Amino acid sequence: MSGRKYTWANSLKNPTFERLDRVLVSTEWEQHYPLATIVASSREISDRTPLLLSTGEEGKGSRQYMFKFELSWLLKENFFDLVSEVWNKENRGNNALQKWQNKIRRLRQFLRGWAINLNGAYRKEKEELLRKTNKLDKKAEDCLLNQQEVDLKQCMKERLAQILREEEIRWFQRAKTKKLLQGDSNTKYFQMVANGKRRKTWIYMLEQEEGIIEREEKLEKYVTKYYKNLFGKSERNNISLDETRKEDITQVLEEENMILVEEFTEKEVRDAIFQMKHNKAPGPDGFPVEFY
């Protein structure tokens, strides 16, 4: 709940505050509305505070989501060959950096469309597997399954376990937690943690000198204008730097300078990458360290 700490207060000189009112939702409902929030309004002359439930669906369609590499893709069969094929097709650019950026851009564009088709296919396959497995389970309650049906059921369960494992990794990546619950699957736990993190980092309103700023469009305009002014061109000043003066500045030795300017080795690059922590926020391109 935002806006207030408590939902009830009496009218005594030293008032008592309590949080009596709440909104009860189920886990399944929260999965449908992960950005749901509760805002406390003004209670005016009442001792009770009205609560407004928002599902977070307002303006959802206009939001442009940043590309993010899914760790579960690494479990997909032939994924490495797919990435290699797309990567090697792109080789435009006047230098190594431009070529690298063009390769990353092309791969990101490809993976966006590939992921949409993959998620749709996975959803259909999961529903079909659950339907067929449930049908065989019901049949087994009335009569013995033949060997072909037993083998089919086992095969479908193994495939379903693989799909559920990929779902768990996807939500584990979003939750960014190291805690695990007791049981076979932590998918729902990761979903709840991830949804909670999204709500905590979501800006619903800003209280500024201009007053309270609400609604996504107004917030975007205000924040954009604020940072343009903050990081825009600064006013001219009288401070200047004399780059020719270096007598009183300690200089590196020629041998030290040779070490500083020499080319990076492949081992140095590899060591730097493998020292980075896993499942951390990716850079602007959306690719985390696991990809590299």
Of 9, 29, 64, the position where a domain reaches its end is: 64
How far, in Å, are 169, 223, 225, 227, 235 from residue 230 at the CA level? 39, 10, 9, 5, 11
Report field, pTM of the whole predicted structure over 0.85: no
Task: Retrieve residue 36's tokens.
Answer: 């749901």
Q: What is the pLDDT of residue 7?
A: 86
Q: What is the pLDDT of residue 257?
A: 92
With respect to residue 291, please indicate whether it lies within any of the assigned structural domains: no
Q: What letter represents residue 130's amino acid?
A: L
pLDDT in tens, the chain (292 residues): 777 788 888 877 787 888 888 888 888 888 778 778 888 877 666 778 888 888 877 655 555 567 888 888 887 888 999 999 999 999 898 998 899 999 999 999 999 888 888 777 777 888 888 888 888 888 887 888 888 888 888 888 888 887 777 777 776 666 666 555 444 456 666 667 767 777 767 777 788 777 888 777 888 888 888 888 888 777 777 778 888 887 888 888 999 999 999 999 999 999 998 998 877 766 778 888 888 8
Are residues 191 and 127 located together in one domain of the fold? yes
Are residues 153 and 37 located together in one domain of the fold? no
How far, in Å, are 262, 264, 281 from residue 255 at the CA level? 11, 16, 38
Q: How far is CA 167 from the centre of its chain?
A: 14
Are residues 79 and 188 located together in one domain of the fold? yes
**Residue 167 structural domain:** 71-201
Of 64, 84, 106, the position where a domain reaches its end is: 64
Q: Please tell me the total count of domains within the chain.
A: 2
Are residues 17 and 50 located together in one domain of the fold? yes
Are residues 92 and 36 located together in one domain of the fold? no
With respect to residue 125, please indicate whether it lies within any of the assigned structural domains: yes
16: helix, coil or strand? coil
Are residues 75 and 109 located together in one domain of the fold? yes
Are residues 187 and 85 located together in one domain of the fold? yes
Are residues 127 and 109 located together in one domain of the fold? yes
Q: What is the pLDDT of residue 99?
A: 93
With respect to residue 239, please indicate whether it lies within any of the assigned structural domains: no
283-287, Cβ contacts within 8 angstroms, sequence gap of 24 or more: 285/67, 285/104, 285/108, 286/66, 286/67, 286/68, 286/69, 286/108, 287/69, 287/104, 287/108
